[in-house]
Amino acid sequence: MEPLVVGDDILDIGSRKAVDRYCGNKAQLGLSQDLLMGRPGAFDVPNVKDPALYCSSHFRSTCGTGDAGQEIKFAKGTTTLAFKFNGGIIVSVDSRATQGNYISSQTVKKVIEMNPYLLGTMAGGAADCSYWERRLNLQCRMYELRNGRRITVAAASKLLAGTMASYRGYGLSMGTMITGWDETGPQLYYVDDDGTRLKGKMFSVGSGSTFAYGVLDNYYREDLTLEEAIDLGKRAIYHATYRDAASGGINNLYHVTKDGWVKIHAIDVNDMHYEFEEEKRNEMSS
Amino acid sequence: MSVMTYNGAAIIAMAGKDCVGIAADRRLGVQLTTIATDFPKIFQMQPKLFVGLAGLGTDVQTLKNLLEFRMNLYKLKEERDMSPKVLSHMLGKILYSKRFGPYFVEPIVAGLDESNKPFLSTMDLIGATSEEKDFVVSGTCTGNMFGMCESLYKPNMEAEELFETLAQALLSSVDRDAVSGWGGIVHIITKEGVLTKELKGRQD
Give me the phi and psi of B178, to 5 degrees please. Answer: -70, -30
pLDDT(A78) > 80: yes
Where residue A239 falls among pLDDT bands split at 50, 70, 90? Answer: very high
CB B64 within 8 A of CB B43: yes
> Which tens digits make up the pLDDT trace of B98-118?
999 999 999 999 999 999 999
d(Cα B97, Cα A104) in Å, to the nearest integer?
38
Given this model, what pLDDT does residue A66 score? 64
Chain B hits for A64, Cβ within 8 Å:
1, 31-32
In chain A, residues with a C-beta closer than 8 Å to the C-beta of B203 are 241-242, 269-270, 273
Domains of chain B plus CATH, in order, are 3-199 (3.60.20.10)
Cβ within 8 Å, pair B179-A273: no
State the nearest Cα–Cα gap between B5 and chain A, in angstroms: 8
Contact at CB, B8 and A245, closer than 8 angstroms: yes
What ipTM does the predicted assembly reach? 0.80
SS3 of A264, please? strand
Residues of chain A found within 8 Å of residue B31, distances taken between Cβ atoms: 64, 245
Which chain B residues touch A96 with a CB distance below 8 Å?
Answer: 178, 204
Strands A202-205 and A197-199: unpaired
Cβ of B141 within 8 Å of Cβ of A101? The answer is yes
- Work out the mean pLDDT of chain A and round it to a whole number: 84
- Once rounded to an integer, what is the mean pLDDT over residues A259-271? 95
- Mean pLDDT, range A132-139, rounded to an integer: 89
Residue pair A244/B34 in contact by the 8 Å Cβ criterion? yes
A132 vs A82: which has the higher pLDDT: A82
Question: What's the mean pLDDT in A202-218?
Answer: 94
Domains, in order of start, for chain A: 79-285 (3.60.20.10)
Instruction: Give pLDDT tens digits for B25-76.
Output: 999 999 999 999 999 999 999 999 999 999 999 999 999 999 999 999 999 9
Taking CB atoms and an 8 Å limit, are B34 and A64 in contact across chains? no
Q: Let me know if B182 is exposed, middle or buried by CB neighbors in 10 A (0-12, 13-18, 19+).
A: buried
Q: How many CB pairs under 8 A join A and B?
A: 59
Q: Compute how many other C-beta atoms are within 10 angstroms of the C-beta atom of residue A156.
A: 28
CB A204 within 8 A of CB A190: no
**Whole-number Å distance between alpha carbons of B39 and B26:** 5
Q: Is the full-model pTM beyond 0.90?
A: no
Q: Which of A76, A103, A243, A280 to mutate to test the interface with B (most CBs of B within 10 A)?
A: A103
Closest CA to A193 of A13, A72, A59: A59
Task: Check: CB of residue A179 under 8 Å from CB of residue A188.
Answer: yes
pLDDT one-digit tens code per residue, A18-44:
666 655 554 444 445 544 444 445 567
Tell me the shortest Cα–Cα distance from B39 to chain A, in angstroms: 15
Cβ-defined contact of A242 to B203 (cutoff 8 Å): yes
Confidence band (pLDDT; 50, 70, 90) for A233?
very high
Residue A40: the pLDDT is 46
**Stretch A240-249: mean pLDDT:** 94
- B142-152 and B159-174 helices, crossing angle to 10°: 140
Rounded CA separation B91/B107 (Å)? 8
